[in-house]
Amino acid sequence: MSLLVACKSTEPVKVVEETTNEVPLEEYCKSNECRKNKHVKFKTDNGDIDQVLPLYWPAAQKNKISILPGDKLFIEAEVINGNSLGNFKLVDEINNPDKTIQFSFTQMDSSIGMMLSVKNPFSFDIKYHLNMIDFSGNLHQTSSCPVRAKISVFESWPHPIPELILTDMHFLQENDVITCIY
């Protein structure tokens, strides 16, 4: 039996200034497997976005996951230092069900709102930080709900989101509060 948990973000978003010295995309993709010809389609208040990205960052990058509208991802995760998950690896199919987290990021029917579903294969509760990338490329913190062991969580937002960035995936400790926070 699967128990589904749902969470709707009602907190105001906080813009985060990202200070990175990242390598340009084209340079990064010379030595890393990037997404190529990625089709992205979703609705906005100003019409539909329907485009093909010739080159884009990988969905799984060490300890960070990038999720675009329409993505259905299988991500294998390794336990790091006994309390974190990382070394993420995008796979085409589930060959290791005990360590493959499933993500689906879709637009809700006849709405501009977005929904993320996350299925936790582990025997422990997990939590992560979730950031939204807006249409100008700015990073905004948003709440995320813990994903209980062996179940799924659904989170929704009433507006379109061009990209979600997931970081700091870790196990919830016994004394941690089960609440939807950043």
**Mean pLDDT to the nearest integer, 53-64:** 95
Cα 47 to Cα 58, 114, 127: the distances in Å are: 27, 15, 34
pLDDT at 57: 95
By mean pLDDT, which of 5-19, 33-47, 121-135, 139-153 is the weakest?
5-19
Q: Average of pLDDT values for 43-67?
A: 95
Sequence-separated (6 or more) residues with CB below 8 Å from residue 77: 85, 86, 87, 88, 89, 99, 100, 101, 169
Q: Identify the sign of the CA torsion 170, 56, 110, 132.
A: positive
Calculate the CA 23 to chain-centre distance. 22
Q: What is the mean pLDDT of residues 57-72?
A: 96
Alpha carbons 146 and 127: distance in angstroms, whole number: 5
Distance from first CA to last CA of the chain, Å, rounded? 28
Calculate the dihedral angle through the C-alpha atoms of 36, 57, 91, 179, rounding to the nearest 10 degrees: -140
**Confidence check: pLDDT of 180 > 70:** yes
Average pLDDT of every residue of the chain: 89
Say how many C-beta atoms besides its own lie within 10 A of residue 160's C-beta: 20
CB 152 within 8 A of CB 4: yes
Q: What is the pLDDT of residue 146?
A: 96
pLDDT beyond 80 at 5: no
What DSSP designation does 80 have? E
Residues 6 or more apart whose Cβ sits within 8 Å of residue 175? none
Higher pLDDT, 41 or 4: 41
> Model pTM?
0.86
